[in-house]
Amino acid sequence: MSGVTGGLNEPRILLDETFTLGECPNWDAANNRLYWTDILNGALHALDVETGARKTWKFESELGCFGLTDQGRIIVALRKDIIFLDPQTDVRTPLARIEDGIHSRTNDGKIGPDGAFWVGTMDDNADKQAIASLYRITADGAVEEKVTGFKISNGLAWSPDGAKMYHSDSRGPWVNRWDFDAKTGAIGNCERYLDLDDTLGRPDGGAVDMEGCYWSAGVSAGNLNRFAPDGTLLLSIAMPMPNPTMPCFGGPDMKTLYVTSHQENYSAEKRAEFPDAGKIVTLRVDVPGVAVHRFVEAS
Protein backbone atom coordinates (compact mmCIF):
# COMPACT_ATOMS: atom_id res chain seq x y z
CA MET A 1 0.00 0.00 0.00
CA SER A 2 1.38 3.37 -0.99
CA GLY A 3 1.77 6.16 1.55
CA VAL A 4 -1.06 8.61 2.07
CA THR A 5 0.95 11.54 3.36
CA GLY A 6 1.84 14.47 1.14
CA GLY A 7 1.17 18.08 0.42
CA LEU A 8 -2.28 19.59 0.47
CA ASN A 9 -4.35 18.61 -2.58
CA GLU A 10 -1.54 16.35 -3.80
CA PRO A 11 -3.00 13.09 -5.14
CA ARG A 12 -1.22 9.84 -4.33
CA ILE A 13 -1.99 6.25 -5.24
CA LEU A 14 -3.49 4.42 -2.25
CA LEU A 15 -3.22 0.86 -3.58
CA ASP A 16 -1.31 -0.78 -6.39
CA GLU A 17 -4.42 -2.79 -7.27
CA THR A 18 -6.36 -1.91 -10.40
CA PHE A 19 -10.15 -2.13 -10.81
CA THR A 20 -12.20 -2.13 -14.01
CA LEU A 21 -14.88 0.28 -12.79
CA GLY A 22 -14.02 1.43 -9.29
CA GLU A 23 -16.86 3.39 -7.71
CA CYS A 24 -18.80 4.33 -4.58
CA PRO A 25 -16.06 4.74 -1.96
CA ASN A 26 -17.52 4.71 1.55
CA TRP A 27 -15.67 5.53 4.77
CA ASP A 28 -16.42 3.39 7.85
CA ALA A 29 -15.17 5.57 10.72
CA ALA A 30 -15.99 2.98 13.39
CA ASN A 31 -13.59 0.45 11.85
CA ASN A 32 -11.11 2.75 10.08
CA ARG A 33 -12.06 1.01 6.87
CA LEU A 34 -12.61 2.13 3.29
CA TYR A 35 -15.14 0.28 1.15
CA TRP A 36 -15.66 0.55 -2.61
CA THR A 37 -17.17 -1.41 -5.48
CA ASP A 38 -15.81 -2.70 -8.78
CA ILE A 39 -19.15 -2.47 -10.54
CA LEU A 40 -18.67 -4.64 -13.61
CA ASN A 41 -16.87 -7.40 -11.71
CA GLY A 42 -19.61 -7.61 -9.08
CA ALA A 43 -17.19 -7.08 -6.22
CA LEU A 44 -17.34 -5.18 -2.94
CA HIS A 45 -13.90 -4.35 -1.55
CA ALA A 46 -12.69 -3.24 1.88
CA LEU A 47 -9.36 -1.91 3.10
CA ASP A 48 -8.16 -1.24 6.64
CA VAL A 49 -6.20 1.91 5.90
CA GLU A 50 -3.89 1.43 8.90
CA THR A 51 -2.96 -2.24 8.57
CA GLY A 52 -3.50 -2.69 4.84
CA ALA A 53 -5.76 -5.70 5.48
CA ARG A 54 -8.04 -6.37 2.49
CA LYS A 55 -11.31 -8.20 2.05
CA THR A 56 -13.52 -8.80 -0.98
CA TRP A 57 -17.08 -10.06 -1.38
CA LYS A 58 -18.22 -11.33 -4.78
CA PHE A 59 -21.72 -11.16 -6.25
CA GLU A 60 -23.39 -12.65 -9.33
CA SER A 61 -24.28 -9.36 -11.01
CA GLU A 62 -23.00 -5.82 -11.32
CA LEU A 63 -22.81 -3.98 -7.99
CA GLY A 64 -23.78 -0.36 -8.60
CA CYS A 65 -23.59 1.11 -5.11
CA PHE A 66 -23.98 0.39 -1.42
CA GLY A 67 -24.14 2.01 2.01
CA LEU A 68 -23.50 1.18 5.64
CA THR A 69 -26.38 0.52 8.04
CA ASP A 70 -26.96 1.40 11.68
CA GLN A 71 -26.86 -2.32 12.54
CA GLY A 72 -23.41 -3.01 11.14
CA ARG A 73 -24.62 -4.47 7.86
CA ILE A 74 -24.13 -3.18 4.31
CA ILE A 75 -27.05 -2.45 2.01
CA VAL A 76 -26.08 -3.36 -1.54
CA ALA A 77 -27.62 -2.42 -4.89
CA LEU A 78 -26.98 -5.19 -7.40
CA ARG A 79 -28.14 -4.85 -11.00
CA LYS A 80 -31.81 -4.89 -9.95
CA ASP A 81 -31.90 -6.33 -6.44
CA ILE A 82 -31.35 -4.55 -3.14
CA ILE A 83 -29.94 -6.82 -0.44
CA PHE A 84 -28.28 -6.70 2.96
CA LEU A 85 -24.79 -8.13 3.46
CA ASP A 86 -23.46 -8.99 6.91
CA PRO A 87 -19.71 -8.35 6.51
CA GLN A 88 -18.91 -10.58 9.48
CA THR A 89 -20.85 -13.69 8.45
CA ASP A 90 -21.36 -13.11 4.69
CA VAL A 91 -25.09 -13.71 5.19
CA ARG A 92 -27.07 -12.02 2.39
CA THR A 93 -30.71 -11.06 2.86
CA PRO A 94 -32.98 -9.71 0.09
CA LEU A 95 -34.86 -6.46 0.72
CA ALA A 96 -36.30 -5.08 -2.52
CA ARG A 97 -36.09 -5.05 -6.30
CA ILE A 98 -35.96 -2.10 -8.69
CA GLU A 99 -38.09 -2.73 -11.77
CA ASP A 100 -36.55 -0.15 -14.07
CA GLY A 101 -36.64 -1.78 -17.51
CA ILE A 102 -34.45 -4.46 -19.04
CA HIS A 103 -31.90 -2.00 -20.41
CA SER A 104 -30.99 -0.34 -17.13
CA ARG A 105 -28.96 -1.16 -14.04
CA THR A 106 -28.24 0.51 -10.72
CA ASN A 107 -25.46 3.06 -10.68
CA ASP A 108 -24.65 5.79 -8.16
CA GLY A 109 -26.29 5.68 -4.74
CA LYS A 110 -25.89 6.88 -1.18
CA ILE A 111 -27.62 6.93 2.21
CA GLY A 112 -29.44 10.20 2.77
CA PRO A 113 -30.00 12.24 5.94
CA ASP A 114 -33.43 10.59 6.09
CA GLY A 115 -31.80 7.19 6.68
CA ALA A 116 -33.04 5.85 3.33
CA PHE A 117 -31.00 4.35 0.49
CA TRP A 118 -31.10 6.63 -2.56
CA VAL A 119 -30.25 4.68 -5.72
CA GLY A 120 -29.98 5.98 -9.27
CA THR A 121 -30.05 3.88 -12.41
CA MET A 122 -28.55 4.25 -15.87
CA ASP A 123 -29.20 3.18 -19.43
CA ASP A 124 -26.87 0.22 -19.96
CA ASN A 125 -26.80 0.59 -23.76
CA ALA A 126 -23.93 2.31 -25.55
CA ASP A 127 -26.37 4.81 -27.06
CA LYS A 128 -27.64 6.26 -23.79
CA GLN A 129 -31.31 7.26 -23.61
CA ALA A 130 -33.09 9.18 -20.86
CA ILE A 131 -34.74 6.13 -19.29
CA ALA A 132 -33.10 6.14 -15.86
CA SER A 133 -34.55 7.18 -12.51
CA LEU A 134 -33.69 8.03 -8.92
CA TYR A 135 -35.27 5.85 -6.23
CA ARG A 136 -35.69 6.03 -2.46
CA ILE A 137 -35.59 2.69 -0.64
CA THR A 138 -36.58 2.24 2.99
CA ALA A 139 -36.20 -0.55 5.54
CA ASP A 140 -39.69 -1.93 4.88
CA GLY A 141 -38.63 -2.71 1.32
CA ALA A 142 -40.63 0.12 -0.25
CA VAL A 143 -39.16 1.45 -3.50
CA GLU A 144 -40.29 4.96 -4.44
CA GLU A 145 -39.39 6.53 -7.77
CA LYS A 146 -38.53 10.15 -6.96
CA VAL A 147 -37.40 11.54 -10.34
CA THR A 148 -36.99 10.08 -13.82
CA GLY A 149 -35.70 10.99 -17.28
CA PHE A 150 -31.93 10.61 -16.92
CA LYS A 151 -29.28 8.85 -18.97
CA ILE A 152 -26.85 8.18 -16.10
CA SER A 153 -28.05 9.10 -12.60
CA ASN A 154 -25.06 10.20 -10.54
CA GLY A 155 -23.49 12.68 -8.13
CA LEU A 156 -25.63 12.21 -5.01
CA ALA A 157 -24.56 14.24 -1.97
CA TRP A 158 -26.18 16.35 0.74
CA SER A 159 -25.37 19.72 2.28
CA PRO A 160 -23.95 19.84 5.83
CA ASP A 161 -27.36 20.66 7.31
CA GLY A 162 -29.11 17.99 5.23
CA ALA A 163 -31.45 20.56 3.69
CA LYS A 164 -30.10 20.33 0.12
CA MET A 165 -29.58 17.32 -2.14
CA TYR A 166 -27.20 17.31 -5.10
CA HIS A 167 -27.84 15.00 -8.05
CA SER A 168 -26.33 14.82 -11.53
CA ASP A 169 -26.78 13.25 -14.93
CA SER A 170 -23.31 12.42 -16.26
CA ARG A 171 -24.60 12.64 -19.80
CA GLY A 172 -26.64 15.81 -19.17
CA PRO A 173 -24.09 16.89 -18.29
CA TRP A 174 -25.39 18.86 -15.32
CA VAL A 175 -25.80 18.90 -11.54
CA ASN A 176 -29.13 19.83 -9.95
CA ARG A 177 -29.81 20.89 -6.37
CA TRP A 178 -33.03 20.10 -4.54
CA ASP A 179 -34.60 21.18 -1.28
CA PHE A 180 -34.55 18.11 0.98
CA ASP A 181 -36.68 17.18 3.98
CA ALA A 182 -34.55 14.96 6.21
CA LYS A 183 -37.60 13.77 8.16
CA THR A 184 -39.65 12.55 5.22
CA GLY A 185 -37.25 12.30 2.28
CA ALA A 186 -39.40 14.72 0.29
CA ILE A 187 -37.62 16.74 -2.40
CA GLY A 188 -38.71 19.92 -4.17
CA ASN A 189 -37.72 23.25 -5.69
CA CYS A 190 -35.17 21.78 -8.09
CA GLU A 191 -32.64 24.27 -9.46
CA ARG A 192 -29.81 23.89 -11.94
CA TYR A 193 -26.60 24.10 -9.93
CA LEU A 194 -24.00 23.38 -12.62
CA ASP A 195 -23.87 22.95 -16.39
CA LEU A 196 -20.65 21.16 -17.28
CA ASP A 197 -18.72 19.91 -20.31
CA ASP A 198 -15.58 17.95 -21.08
CA THR A 199 -13.32 20.86 -20.12
CA LEU A 200 -13.84 20.28 -16.40
CA GLY A 201 -15.30 16.85 -17.01
CA ARG A 202 -18.75 15.33 -17.03
CA PRO A 203 -20.00 14.98 -13.44
CA ASP A 204 -19.65 11.51 -11.96
CA GLY A 205 -19.75 10.86 -8.21
CA GLY A 206 -19.89 13.72 -5.72
CA ALA A 207 -19.31 14.66 -2.08
CA VAL A 208 -19.80 17.78 0.04
CA ASP A 209 -17.48 19.38 2.59
CA MET A 210 -18.34 21.28 5.78
CA GLU A 211 -18.20 24.62 3.96
CA GLY A 212 -21.02 23.39 1.73
CA CYS A 213 -18.78 23.03 -1.31
CA TYR A 214 -19.52 20.28 -3.80
CA TRP A 215 -16.69 18.02 -4.97
CA SER A 216 -17.30 16.36 -8.33
CA ALA A 217 -15.26 13.74 -10.17
CA GLY A 218 -14.79 15.08 -13.70
CA VAL A 219 -14.83 11.62 -15.21
CA SER A 220 -14.15 12.67 -18.81
CA ALA A 221 -11.34 15.14 -18.05
CA GLY A 222 -9.23 13.54 -15.33
CA ASN A 223 -10.11 16.22 -12.78
CA LEU A 224 -11.48 16.45 -9.27
CA ASN A 225 -13.42 19.72 -9.04
CA ARG A 226 -14.56 21.74 -6.02
CA PHE A 227 -17.46 24.16 -6.47
CA ALA A 228 -18.75 26.81 -4.06
CA PRO A 229 -22.42 26.71 -3.03
CA ASP A 230 -23.13 29.36 -5.69
CA GLY A 231 -21.53 27.17 -8.39
CA THR A 232 -18.21 29.03 -8.66
CA LEU A 233 -15.28 26.76 -9.47
CA LEU A 234 -12.83 27.02 -6.56
CA LEU A 235 -10.38 24.24 -7.37
CA SER A 236 -9.65 21.72 -10.11
CA ILE A 237 -7.11 19.04 -9.23
CA ALA A 238 -5.58 16.90 -11.97
CA MET A 239 -5.79 13.21 -11.15
CA PRO A 240 -3.09 10.71 -12.19
CA MET A 241 -5.56 8.94 -14.49
CA PRO A 242 -8.04 10.03 -17.18
CA ASN A 243 -11.26 8.83 -15.53
CA PRO A 244 -11.78 9.49 -11.80
CA THR A 245 -15.24 8.33 -10.77
CA MET A 246 -16.17 9.37 -7.21
CA PRO A 247 -14.72 11.08 -4.12
CA CYS A 248 -15.46 10.41 -0.48
CA PHE A 249 -14.13 11.94 2.71
CA GLY A 250 -12.54 9.87 5.44
CA GLY A 251 -9.81 9.62 8.03
CA PRO A 252 -10.00 10.61 11.71
CA ASP A 253 -10.38 14.30 10.86
CA MET A 254 -12.43 13.76 7.67
CA LYS A 255 -9.80 15.71 5.72
CA THR A 256 -8.65 12.80 3.57
CA LEU A 257 -10.29 12.34 0.19
CA TYR A 258 -10.43 8.92 -1.44
CA VAL A 259 -11.16 8.90 -5.17
CA THR A 260 -11.96 5.83 -7.25
CA SER A 261 -11.36 5.57 -11.01
CA HIS A 262 -12.00 3.28 -13.96
CA GLN A 263 -10.32 1.69 -16.95
CA GLU A 264 -13.49 0.42 -18.60
CA ASN A 265 -13.08 -0.26 -22.34
CA TYR A 266 -9.38 0.61 -22.24
CA SER A 267 -7.25 -0.94 -24.96
CA ALA A 268 -3.97 -2.60 -24.03
CA GLU A 269 -2.20 0.45 -25.42
CA LYS A 270 -4.25 2.86 -23.30
CA ARG A 271 -3.68 0.77 -20.17
CA ALA A 272 0.05 0.91 -20.83
CA GLU A 273 -0.13 4.68 -21.32
CA PHE A 274 -2.11 5.21 -18.10
CA PRO A 275 -0.93 2.54 -15.63
CA ASP A 276 -2.72 4.22 -12.71
CA ALA A 277 -6.14 4.10 -14.38
CA GLY A 278 -8.52 2.03 -12.27
CA LYS A 279 -6.62 2.67 -9.04
CA ILE A 280 -7.68 4.58 -5.92
CA VAL A 281 -6.22 8.01 -5.22
CA THR A 282 -5.95 9.69 -1.83
CA LEU A 283 -5.24 13.32 -1.02
CA ARG A 284 -5.34 15.64 1.97
CA VAL A 285 -7.58 18.71 1.98
CA ASP A 286 -7.99 21.59 4.42
CA VAL A 287 -11.77 21.46 4.91
CA PRO A 288 -13.33 18.34 6.45
CA GLY A 289 -16.05 16.50 4.62
CA VAL A 290 -19.64 15.79 5.55
CA ALA A 291 -19.97 12.24 6.88
CA VAL A 292 -22.27 10.00 4.87
CA HIS A 293 -25.30 8.84 6.82
CA ARG A 294 -26.17 5.26 7.74
CA PHE A 295 -29.20 3.36 6.55
CA VAL A 296 -31.81 3.02 9.30
CA GLU A 297 -32.88 -0.62 9.52
CA ALA A 298 -36.30 -1.61 10.78
CA SER A 299 -36.28 -2.11 14.54
Q: Which residues are annotated as a binding site for substrate?
A: 105, 107
CA distance 258 to 23: 11
Q: Please state the residue numbers annotated as binding site.
A: 23, 105, 107, 154, 204
Distance from CA of residue 88 to its chain's centroid?
23
Q: Which of 71, 83, 74 is nearest to 45 (CA)?
A: 74
Alpha carbon separation from 75 to 44, 89, 136, 170, 207 (Å, rounded):
11, 14, 13, 24, 19
In sequence order, the β-bridge partners of residue 86 are none
Q: Please state the residue numbers annotated as binding site for a divalent metal cation.
A: 23, 154, 204
CA distance 209 to 192: 20
Q: Which residues are catalytic?
A: 204
Beta-strand pair 223-227/214-218: antiparallel
Q: Which of 89, 80, 76, 6 is nearest to 36 (CA)?
A: 76
Q: How far apart are the first and last CA of the chain?
A: 39
